[in-house]
Structure 1
Amino acid sequence: MKLTGVELRRVRLPLVAPFRTSFGTQTERTALLLRAVGADAEGWGECVAMADPLYSSEYEGACADVLRRFLIPALGGLRRLDAAAVAPALAPFKGHRMAKAALEMAVLDAELRTRGEPLARALGAVHDRVPCGVSVGIMDSVPELLDAVAGYLDEGYLRIKLKIEPGWDIEPVRAVRERFGDELLLQVDANTAYTLADTRHLARLDAFGLLLIEQPLEEEDLLGHAQLARSLATPVCLDESITSARSAAAAITLGACSIVNIKPGRVGGYLEARRIHDVCAAHGVPVWCGGMLETGLGRAANVALAALPGFTLPGDTSASDRFYRTDITDPFVLADGHLPVPDSPGLGVVPLPEVLEEVTVGTEWIPL
């Protein structure tokens, strides 16, 4: 496959409700989309970086810059381009995993479309639908939280994840457990908001039978997570700390986690995400697919990934209407707590032209 160029497209979608985590509150999703154009096909990618460097050192503007100046031009020198060649071609440029993942995703989509092969099949999926959980942000009050959780359960979600931070942890979890019972699949996500000094406090969560506590400490603190894991009955899951198959293997070996959240954008792409899946499977560590408020493009790819055999826990692959009244693709709709795995070539979805035009705030063409 030979690319003629890549279009960078910035879109802005309002959220149906503010989404608050320990990093801050989002009221809209600004996203960078990529359209890789070749002689025989085109493919779409989505960059999961946020507008500001709060969740990660990467942010949307920096991703656009590194794509424009370094990453996209690096593909121009390849005699033959396929998705497997993207990561080696981009390896000289340090970091920028979210930008690299978006470019690989666009090339992978185009390649699979030319072959007539769905992404799920190419990755090794074994399921045609995946169980879905939902991530519930920090609320202004416990009654508001309980109403939100009740609504998601009525919609059919199979697992609830509560965002927590110091001052919003024990009591909200207690209230949800008391209101909805011990059978509810319940977990919490700290987004690095705690330190080892909070160990005794976090141990109070053990009383609530949680599936896991996600990323309680700073992302670089593997040793701290290992120490914390020895002090908690609740399984520790790593998210931000997992940036590659190598880092996943290190975390598992150190005892820093017993569950892993795989976010393809955070690890450099879907091919590296599959390698992390394989490493975890080899060690008997369950994985699940996290979310970054993706549009239908990223959601389609995440659902395909979550259909691999090692994804044994419901992920954050929620329906389109969890965040958006109108998605840029045909919406993903929850059915019996599951989403269907796309079975058309590539991602299996494409943007709806009229919606895409409405939410676009800027485009740029990078020729090769």
Structure 2
Amino acid sequence: MDIKGVKLSIVKMPLKNPFTTHLGSVTEREAIIVEIEDRTGFIGYGEGVAFSSPWYTEETVQTSYHMLKDYLVPLLKKKAISHPDQALALFSSVRRNHMAKAALETALWDLQAKKEGVPLSILIGGGMESIPAGVVVGNPNLQEAIKQIEGYLEQGFKRVKVKISPEDDFHYISGIRKQFPDLPLMADANSAYALEDVDRLKALDQFGLLMIEQPLGYDDIIDHAKLQSQIETPICLDESIVTFDDARKAIELGSCKVINIKIGRVGGIGEAKRIHDYCVSKGIPVWAGGMIEFGISRAHNIALASLPGFTIPGDISGSDRYWEEDIIQPEITVHNGMVKMPERPGIGFELNNKRMKEVTIFEERFEF
């Protein structure tokens, strides 16, 4: 791909409103922005979506930066590749660290699409003109959550996800369902339950949820299979699925009926596509999960969600959902619950250089 250099930037920005789960509350977000420039002047953008602390996965911003600087960028410099599809094999000598890998790999995909003069969605096999947008409500206060949902429905969002835990799940879900009897509603547990809580989860069957996301252990597929056999609500796996083989085994075991695909969690667009294709072949619906990300990662998610297997609205809201001002231009917008697929080459967005300068706390460039 004749790469000239790689630039890594760490950005930091406060959220407009805190985002809360039983694992903790996020009030500001750090991320790694990757820029890959080739010798003809094209620049591809990627985003490392690890959090500042290891509450979602073992990766953090600092560990991802270390892997990028000391291992992944040197691998890319040492062995030239001709297409982003080759990045998975190139990075295979480094175990796990999927978010660091995805940060670099997604920048390669954006670069390739720009070189070919096509939108990223078309390059990876998508074809939708627009995609439905879902939204996450991370507010544990029932009345405040209801007010937020009302606002999102007025904006046309097609699906709402709420965070639950054993402390208040039934009361919380029943209150929302009473207020919104026909709302496409799903619940995300972020591994807050154990198999012994099966009766609590069975009690939620009556509310007609689209799914319960990751109710049990973050690395489990065995107990999820036992749970799925005892409840009617479809289980969706998130944290448990970090590779194609994880998805294959979970589907074979009957551990879930839905899979959430996050590009960062699985190591890049290449692996996300493999999981998508397998799920389609097995009749398992997929949807694109969010990571409280900045616009670059969100743009990659939009391209991924244009693939035909993404039949459930993903966590793809507008830039103004979390940020006073995003780091991309134009900002991502939602109109009547839909996000229009960008028509420009690559991810379809450029860096907002002024905003990047304001929020960048560290940067480093590596020449090839």
CA distance in 1, matches of 2:66, 2:28: 22
Whichever residue aligns with residue 131 of structure 2, its letter is V
Q: Greater shift after overlay, 337-346 or 252-261?
A: 337-346
Whichever residue aligns with residue 259 of structure 2, its letter is V
- State whether residues 8 and 363 of structure 1, in contact with CA within 8 Å, keep that contact through their aligned partners in structure 2: yes
Q: Secondary structure at the match of 2:93?
A: coil
Once the two structures are TM-superposed, the CA of residue 207 in structure 1 deviates from its matched residue by 0.9
- State whether residues 97 and 266 of structure 1, in contact with CA within 8 Å, keep that contact through their aligned partners in structure 2: yes
- State whether residues 14 and 323 of structure 2, in contact with CA within 8 Å, keep that contact through their aligned partners in structure 1: yes
CA deviation vs aligned residue, 1:256-298 (integer Å, no higher than 9, x gap): 0010000010000011111111000000000000000121111
CA distance in 1, matches of 2:262, 2:172: 26
Once the two structures are TM-superposed, the CA of residue 367 in structure 1 deviates from its matched residue by 2.5
- State whether residues 81 and 87 of structure 2, in contact with CA within 8 Å, keep that contact through their aligned partners in structure 1: no
Q: How does 1:210-221 map to 2 (within 5 A)?
A: 210-221=209-220
Whichever residue aligns with residue 179 of structure 1, its letter is Q
Once the two structures are TM-superposed, the CA of residue 349 in structure 1 deviates from its matched residue by 0.8
CA distance in 2, matches of 1:115, 1:124: 14
Alignment TM-score, normalising by the size of structure 1 = 0.97
Whichever residue aligns with residue 226 of structure 1, its letter is A
Q: Which residue of 2 is the match for residue 296 of structure 1?
A: 295
CA deviation vs aligned residue, 1:86-112 (integer Å, no higher than 9, x gap): 111110111100000010011111121
RMSD of the alignment, in Å? 1.0
Is the alpha carbon distance of 1:327 and 1:145 closer, same or farther for their aligned partners in structure 2, counting shifts above 3 Å?
Answer: same
CA deviation vs aligned residue, 1:109-161 (integer Å, no higher than 9, x gap): 1121111121100111121100011011032x221111111111112111110
Q: Which residue of 2 is the match for residue 171 of structure 1?
A: 171
Indicate yes or no: 2:132 matched with 1:131: yes
Gaps of 5+ in 2: none
Once the two structures are TM-superposed, the CA of residue 35 in structure 1 deviates from its matched residue by 0.6
CA distance in 1, matches of 2:274, 2:29: 29
- State whether residues 138 and 164 of structure 1, in contact with CA within 8 Å, keep that contact through their aligned partners in structure 2: no
CA distance in 1, matches of 2:108, 2:305: 20
CA distance in 1, matches of 2:191, 2:355: 35
CA deviation vs aligned residue, 1:63-108 (integer Å, no higher than 9, x gap): 0001111110001122444212211111011110000001001111
Indicate yes or no: 2:91 matched with 1:90: yes
Q: Which residue of 1 is the match for residue 199 of structure 2?
A: 200
- State whether residues 300 and 341 of structure 1, in contact with CA within 8 Å, keep that contact through their aligned partners in structure 2: no
Q: Secondary structure at the match of 1:354?
A: helix
CA distance in 2, matches of 1:318, 1:86: 29
Alignment TM-score, normalising by the size of structure 2 = 0.97
Q: Which residue of 1 is the match for residue 100 of structure 2?
A: 99
Indicate yes or no: 2:315 matched with 1:320: no
The total of aligned residue pairs comes to 366
CA distance in 1, matches of 2:90, 2:221: 29
CA distance in 2, matches of 1:50, 1:92: 24
Q: Which residue of 1 is the match for residue 309 of structure 2?
A: 310
Q: Greater shift after overlay, 80-89 or 190-199?
A: 80-89
What's the % identity of the aligned pairs?
41
Once the two structures are TM-superposed, the CA of residue 202 in structure 1 deviates from its matched residue by 1.0
Once the two structures are TM-superposed, the CA of residue 332 in structure 1 deviates from its matched residue by 1.3
CA distance in 1, matches of 2:127, 2:111: 23
Once the two structures are TM-superposed, the CA of residue 15 in structure 1 deviates from its matched residue by 0.8
Q: Which residue of 2 is the match for residue 343 of structure 1?
A: 343
Once the two structures are TM-superposed, the CA of residue 366 in structure 1 deviates from its matched residue by 2.1
Q: Which residue of 1 is the match for residue 24 of structure 2?
A: 24
- State whether residues 195 and 218 of structure 1, in contact with CA within 8 Å, keep that contact through their aligned partners in structure 2: yes
CA distance in 2, matches of 1:337, 1:288: 16
Q: Which residue of 1 is the match for residue 77 of structure 2?
A: 76
Q: Which residue of 1 is the match for residue 67 of structure 2?
A: 66
User: Which segments of structure 1 move beyond 3 Å, counting only runs of 4 or more?
Assistant: none
CA distance in 2, matches of 1:268, 1:233: 31
Q: Secondary structure at the match of 2:350?
A: coil
- State whether residues 14 and 27 of structure 1, in contact with CA within 8 Å, keep that contact through their aligned partners in structure 2: yes
CA distance in 1, matches of 2:80, 2:235: 45
Once the two structures are TM-superposed, the CA of residue 339 in structure 1 deviates from its matched residue by 0.4
CA distance in 2, matches of 1:219, 1:154: 34
